[in-house]
Every structure is written in structure tokens, then in C-alpha cells.
Amino acid sequence: MNELQGQTVVAALDAGTYYHHRTFHTPELRRCIDHVIYLRELDEQAIADCDVLIVSCTSPLEMLVAQRDLFARFLASGRTLVAMGANSAHRWLDGVQWVESAVNFWWWKEPGTDSGLRLCVPDHSLFQYITLADATWHQHGAFVPPPGAVSLIDKQGVGSVLYEDAVSTPGRLIVTSLDPMYHHGSHFMPATTRFLRGFLPWLKGLPPPR
């Protein structure tokens, strides 16, 4: 039984990859997720009782593009959609603007270097669950948030690596270029595990749609 069972129902998409498998079979993470939905079986019925839908890191792009209308309807119904990293969200979500940038794979090995990440809204509720260090590994590009959306973490001179948009649709869209599920599932980069330990409980604690 889900120890965090409550009003907000969280679902996550599983593309059948090893990194999704490990993420959803890590007990401290799994308890924050009420339903794991196999991506090939995603339809309206599968998400009928879901308040939050997580599009998991590094899922097959063609499958996400095929479901763009479903994602749009989910947001139009006032619910929360979370687009995790390495998913080319701009290809299947309206209004998402991508900024290409070089991946800074091993920046921390160079003396005196800076990740470039900055908290934009330090008093946001998410940062009661994670720190900037928990969101710091390497970055796969960034986004330009639409007017009225709020960037929570910026990469200086590039764009937002995590933003929240509660104005473009009746729902809430959370978009990030960070890919913690991939790295947690691949057993490297401990910050990604810490990120998920905070991010998933935060999602679970969001108020359900009215």
C-alpha cells in the first residue's frame, strides 16, 4: 500500500527501460507514485483518476509525439503534467521553447568551474524538498518559459532548466531538462537520487485540482 496515499494521485509513465525499472522499484521513490503506466498502454482510461502525470526521463520520442493530444487534454482538464528531461518536450507540448546548448558532462572536474545553475525563486515550495546541489549534475539544454510562467532554476546565460507554467493552460505544466531517472537508474550521479527523493514527495504533496 502506498504510505503517502492521499488526495493527490500521481502516475508515472514507464517506457520499459532499465532506468525506469530501477526508479519505480526503489521503495522510497515508488511510495510517492500511485500508478505506473506502461507507455504503450497510455490512454484516457489509464489516467482517468490521476491528478499528476509524470512523463519520465528519456522516453521514446515517437511515442510521446503520438500522445500529444492526450497530454493537451490532460492539461486542459486542470491537472498537472510533468515533462522530465531528455524528452524533446518542445516536439509534443504546445508553447514549449527549447534552447540548445552543449552538455557540460564533467564540469566539476575542472578547477574553479561553476555549473551556472541558480535558484530563481528560493522561497518556492519545491525548495523545501530539494537544494540547488540536489539539482546539479550536467545539463542537456534549457527552455525559454512562456509569458507568465516561472523559472525555478536557471542556467545563467542559457535559459531555464526547470520551470512551472500555471497560466498557459487550465492545468499546471512543469518542464525540466534535468534527467534524474536516467542517472538514478544507471547507478551514477548521487545528486539525481537526492533530487528524486525530494521532487517526487513534492509532487505527491501538491494540492489536487479543484
Q: Domain boundaries in the chain? A: 10-204
Of 48, 91, 98, nearest in space to 73 by CA: 48
Q: Which CATH number fits domain 10-204: 3.90.660.10, 3.40.50.720, 3.40.50.10490, 3.40.50.880?
A: 3.40.50.880
Q: What's the pTM value of the predicted model, to 2 decimals?
A: 0.94
The C-alpha atoms of residue 142 and residue 6 are separated, in whole angstroms, by 33
Of 122, 119, 114, 120, nearest in space to 138 by CA: 114
Q: Is pLDDT of 154 > 60?
A: yes
Q: Residue 1's pLDDT is what?
A: 35
pLDDT digits (tens, 9 = 90+) for 158-197: 999 999 999 999 999 999 999 999 999 999 889 999 999 9
Q: Are the C-beta atoms of 155 and 209 separated by less than 8 Å?
A: no
Coil, strand or helix at 169: coil
As given in the structure block, the three cell numbers for residue 183 are 542517472
Coil, strand or helix at 11: strand
pLDDT digits (tens, 9 = 90+) for 60-116: 999 999 999 999 999 999 999 999 999 999 999 999 999 998 766 666 667 767 888
